[in-house]
Each structure stands twice: as C-alpha cells, then as structure tokens.
Structure 1
Amino acid sequence: MNLCFRPTIQALVTFLLIFPLAALWGVSSGTPARAHEIRPAIVDLFIGDDGGVRLEMSLILEAALAEVGAEHADTDESPNAGRYDALRLLDEAALAAEFERSSARFLDGVRLMAGDQRIPLDVDSLDLDPVGDTDFARLSRIALTGQLPAGATDLTYSFDPAFGPSVIRVPDEQGANSYSAYLDNGSRSAPIPVEGALTMSAGQVFVDYIGIGFTHIVPKGLDHILFVVGLFLLSPRLKPLLVQVTAFTVAHSVTLALAMLGVLTLPGSIVEPLIAASILFIAVENLGTDRLTRWRPYLVFAFGLLHGLGFAGVLNEIGLSPAHFASGLVGFNIGVEAGQLAVVAGCFALFGAWFADRPWYRTRITIPLSLAIAAIAAWWVLERTGLVA
C-alpha cells in the first residue's frame, strides 16, 4: 500500500468507528444544548389589539440566574460557573423558588421601552422541566406581560448582557418571523412598530448577518476554528490551503442552504459529535503524513457538509425573515467565510510567515499543535456523545 494513503485510511477508520456511536446517541437524545454551552434566550414579542404586550422566552434559566454573561462562550469560563452548576442540579420546585427570589433582578434585566418610557413587566407563567440528564442544559419557558403606555407607536427590547445573549423575534400573523435580531452586548433592538410590520431593507439584513456569521466563528466557534487551524498546519502553502478552504466553503454553503429551506435536517445531537470527529480526523491525518494527499480536499468537502448543518442550527435559533431569506443567508455565509479567513491570516501571522520553510516546522509546529487539537477533539467526541460529563 502506498504510504501516502495510510494516514488517510487510519483517520477514516477512526471516523467510521465514531460515526455509529454518534448517530445512535443522536437518535435517542434529541437536540438539547450541552451542559456548559451558552445558548441565546429566544424571545418572541406579541402585541395585542388591546395594548397588551407579551414576551415568551425560552432560555437556560440557570445561566441567567447565575449571571454567567454574554461575553463567555462556555459557562466554565465564567467566575460564576459554580453557582450555575449548583442551579442545574435543582429540581423544578427548587429552581422555581430560586427564580422567585431573583425575579426582581431578572425583570430589571428585561427592558421593553416605548420611546424613553419603560414598560413594567410581570411574570405571567413559568414552565420548568425536570432535572433530567445533567449532561445537557435544560430549557425553561417564561412569559412576561405588560401594557403599552398611551400613544406608544413603537417598542425597543434589550436584555441585560449579564444574563447572556438573546434573540428577539416578532412573529407575523402566519407565524413566520417578520423581524429577528441577535443581541449579545445589551444593545437595543431596532424600533418595533406597535401597528404594522417592522420593515428592514435587504441591505440591513445582509450587513447584520455578516456580523452574526463572523462572530459565530471568531470568537465563539472554537470547533470551527480548530478545524481550520488543522487544515493550515499540514500545509501552510497558499495554493493547497485555498483548495481545502474552498472545498469546505462550498460544502457548508450547500448544506446550510438546504437545511434552512427544510430540505435537509439532521439533529444537532448527531451533527455536533460528528463535527468533533471531523476535527479529530484532520488532526490524526496531520500526525501521519507530511504531505497533502489527493483525497484530502474531497474529505474536507464531506466534512464541510457536516459543518454547514452545524451553522444551520444557529440560523434556526435566530429565525430568518422570509422576506429577506436570501440576503440573510448570503450575509451569514460571507461572515462565516470572513471568520475562517481571519483564522487563516492569524495562523499565517503567528508561524506560517516565519517558520513554514524551516526544516523543523513539522516537528515543532505541526505535530505538537495537531496532538493538542486531537486531544481536544477526542474529548469533545466523548462529551458530545454523553460518555463523559
């Protein structure tokens, strides 16, 4: 057997051994968030004909009560991680009691404004799930209600960044989102008309989603960052790197579009372990060869299909407006690509420009970093399939 194909085959065997395990776990476990993953609060705003307003929130309540913060991608990074972990172990009655004690602080962090006038909100309902499998975060549902002041023409919404990021959505009469915005720094939404639909230009949506796509890679997409770094490590030369990145981009663009159109769906509990497995594959192959095999671009393309399904999970949470579906999707893809190119540029600036031609580049750069990536990815595979907590 040609030696240049052995690393690819070894890595492929690793991937194929992991695939059934991840698929079996995904079929049985649905699509919950991993225990330490920070997910945005999803908030639907309804405005009644009688002037009543209602916010229906789906969120990881424990992260909000612990004030983990929107600046973290993982709860373990927060100094309040201990309180978050303790809250996760509470049954629904105890968690409801904790929320009751903290309700004034929580309501202060949910700001609904009519011009410069704040709308007082009350808790209408609280729906909590049992503890269940503590390997995964549980979602809680909270409904808040208030009353528009006389003469109000529009509203703005904001969420205290100490509680984490949030997505504000305004459903239309058909249930589709006429407006959605991702807020992760406490900023206000655009003014939302009390009567009539909020209109956003295709250009505004395009620009907004470029930013969402970019931040999904840098700094929040550590798994996607490590995948791109793995591609760079084997061959920091521009031409082979561009071939791989192009294959990856085309692939994730295809599955992202298909998933958003509802043509292709796969549970996140299957996709996420397989994304981790794809990173492990790349790292293992880096350790076994010092050259780019002819099969690698095709395999990178296949892995890009998986990563595109992962990206779709983000957009599904935010909810693209049907009126600007194309501009939002294209903008998000461009943002993702810009994030990937930023990672490549960072790698090149750190060691590609200085050390790529050195005879020790492989032994001192490629192998140690690939070992580190392989270790992280292997842990993620175990974690995302529930084999470790």
Structure 2
Amino acid sequence: MLVSSFSQADVVKPALVEISIMSDKLIEIEIDLSLEAAMTGIGTQYKKTTDAPNSELYDDLRALKSQQLQQRFSDFEAKFLDSLVFKVNGQVQQLSLENASIDIIGYKKRPRKTILTYHAYPDSWPEALSWQYGKIYGDSALRWQVYKKDEYNWSQWRWLRDGAPSGVIDLNHPKPVSNYQRFIEFVDIGFDHVMPMGWDHILFIIGMALSSLLWRKLLILVTSFTLAHTLTLGLAMIGVIEVSARIVEPLIAFSIAYVAIENLLIKQSIKRKSIVVFIFGLIHGLGFAAMLKEFEMAPDSFITTLIGFNIGVELAQVVIVFAVVGVLLTLRRLKLNYRQLAVIPVSVLIALVGFWWGVERLIG
C-alpha cells in the first residue's frame, strides 16, 4: 500500500505568472500551472497530490482529455478568478480569458502543463501594478515586462510564499534586484525542490547515506553525486544536453532501487559505488534541469541563479545525510544492531519503491 501511494502521486508545482504590458494599454497575464491542482485546492503546502484530501478528485481530473478538462474548468473559472487580485494604478482589474492551453494527459509522474492567458484593459497607462495569487494555492513565482518586440525586458523572478501579495510594483522606477537577492532566492528554490518536493532525490540520498558510517566514504559518494548532477544541470540549462523525461524519470527510479540494493550487500566496493553514484548523478542533474528551465532565466542572471539553485540542492542533501547518519549513530550508541534495525529494512523499502516507480514510468 505504501509503494502504491508513492507511485500514484504528482508533485505539486508552484504556478509561474508572467505579466506583459503591451503598447496599447492591454495587459496580458500568462499563468503556467497545474490546472487539476488548482481546481481541487491542492497547493504547494502539500508535498505530493496524494497528501491532499482531494487527491481522488485530482486523479479523476488528471485522467481527463484536454478538451474535457477545459469544459470542467469553465464551470470552475469564476471561483478561480475570485482567488486572484490584480491591480493597475491601485484599481482592481477584471480579467478575461483569452486562451487555455492544456497539454495532453501525457506522463503521469509530472503534473500536466496548463497555460491560462488572461487580458486586462486598464483605463489609463499602467504606472504601477500589484498581484496576488490565491493563498490556497501556496507558492508562486512572478515576473513582468513592458513588452517591446525583439527585446528582452523581463524582470527577475520574484518568489511569493504562501499566496503572499507582490506589493506595489512601480513600473517607472522598478526596484533593482541585486545578485545577492537573486542568489538567496534560488538557494531557497533549490532547497525546496529537494525538501519537501523531490521524493525521488530524497530517497536516493537516503539510500546513499545508509551505505556507511565512515565519513570518508560518505564524502566520496556525496561529492561524486554533486559533481555529476552539477555537470548535467549546467549543460542541460545551456541546451547542450536534452533528454526526454520519458527516459530520465524511469532511470532515476531505477537508480534509487540500485543504490538501496547495494546496501544489502555484505561487502561493498566504495570505488564501484562512487562510479555508479556519479553515473546516476548525471541522470539526476537532468531531472533538476527540467524544473529550473521553466524559469527561462535572463543571460545576465544565469550563473547566479544556477549556482544558487545548486547550493540549495546541496544544503538539502546535507540535511538528509546528517539526519540519516544521526539516526544510525544513535542506534549504535544504544548498542543496537543498526544494520538489522534500519539499514536493511529501509533499503528494502526504498528498493521496492524505486523499482515500482521505474516499472510504472516505463509503461505509464
């Protein structure tokens, strides 16, 4: 039952909101979201959809074809709009839906991508605006631009926690975002992507941390994994590598199973395991890139955001490793057989989950 509950879940992703001010006072708002999560009130406060009380309704919506889901959204749209507050020059704006681009059912391990495009028609030229996404939906990210053809005018992304309002954005005198602020913001995003959102990566790190209580061996494994996923994350972000999620996701799942199975062996080769972890780290880096690429970073902020995101991921890994090692050391100090009580049963469970995910992702 535990394996089944893990395997059916989609990660709950934050919405990405882009506001464009056009030359004729028209304002276009694009909301990239999981429409099924929005329609069932499943926000980012949940790690995965199966944690939410409306998970069964989410699954029903997730199985609908694009046109069917759009018809269901038509009945829900008024409630959705009630949860949004968009102001221009201090005046609340009415939003009209121009387009709803809903992806095919597709790969069940990732939330289906939907882009809702709304238009607003303020009475006067926008001097200031403010935005608030529904609190029920949790975290979101926001950026804006005064649109000019063939020019990149996007602001930096702003991370809005738990439905927090953007505050008043002065379009004539925008507050610059320093490299440090951008760095800290993406450290936070990177950390969240692993804890609590990234069950794949959490289980892999736990399996790796169960390998040994010798710090030298753990350091070799963690360093191998870090170097590998940093390499492919960077290459994927600049477009050198691009691999379909249909290939990456099953490989990530089987990598989880393999690392856990290694823990069941009496004699483990740290050299072999570090090589294997490095190879699997290359695959995990592609998984990290799939999320980060959605932010479409500006060239001048690429390095800062990439480093910040990666450090956030590393901090999450360190927390997991210390937690696992702390439990094992506690059991050992109590003169209990930590291998029999923790390493073996947890590794078996992780291996089963990883193998189940792998098979399901291959046939799903």
What is the TM-score normalised by the length of structure 2?
Answer: 0.87
Q: Deviations over 1:168-219 (max 9, x none)?
A: 3436644754422344511234754435877321111101001001111111
Which residue among 287, 290, 293 is the counterpart of 2:264? 287
Amino acid paired to 1:274: L
Distance 1:344 1:115, change over 3 A: farther
Partner of 1:233: 210
Greater Cα offset, 334-343 or 107-116:
107-116
Separation in 2, partners of 1:223, 1:262: 24
Greater Cα offset, 169-178 or 204-213:
169-178
Larger RCO, structure (CA 8 Å, separation 6 or more):
1
1:168 aligns with 2:138: no
Q: Percent identity?
A: 34
Question: What secondary structure sits across from 2:46 in the alignment?
Answer: coil
Amino acid paired to 2:56: G
Distance 1:320 1:88, change over 3 A: same
Which residue among 349, 353, 362 is the counterpart of 1:376? 353
1:346 aligns with 2:323: yes
Distance 1:280 1:131, change over 3 A: closer
Amino acid paired to 1:59: L
Distance 1:196 1:50, change over 3 A: farther
1:260 aligns with 2:237: yes
Q: Judge conservation of contact 1:229–1:344 (CA < 8 Å) in 2.
A: yes
What is the TM-score normalised by the length of structure 1?
Answer: 0.82
Separation in 2, partners of 1:371, 1:269: 25
Amino acid paired to 1:60: S
Which residue among 23, 47, 53 is the counterpart of 1:73? 47
Q: Number of residues paired by the alignment?
A: 354
Which residue among 142, 159, 178 is the counterpart of 1:201? 178
Partner of 2:228: 251
Partner of 1:334: 311
Distance 1:312 1:130, change over 3 A: closer
Question: What secondary structure sits across from 1:234 in the alignment?
Answer: coil
Separation in 2, partners of 1:127, 1:303: 34
* Structure 2 alignment gaps of length 5 or more: 1-7
1:57 aligns with 2:31: yes
Greater Cα offset, 213-222 or 54-63:
54-63
Q: Judge conservation of contact 1:235–1:292 (CA < 8 Å) in 2.
A: no
The 5 Å alignment of 1:260-339 reads 260-339=237-316
Q: Judge conservation of contact 1:178–1:198 (CA < 8 Å) in 2.
A: no
The 5 Å alignment of 1:67-216 reads 67-114=41-88, 116-129=90-103, 137-148=111-122, 150=124, 152-163=126-137, 165-170=139-144, 173=148, 174=150, 176=152, 177-189=154-166, 192-195=169-172, 199-216=176-193
Distance 1:90 1:243, change over 3 A: closer
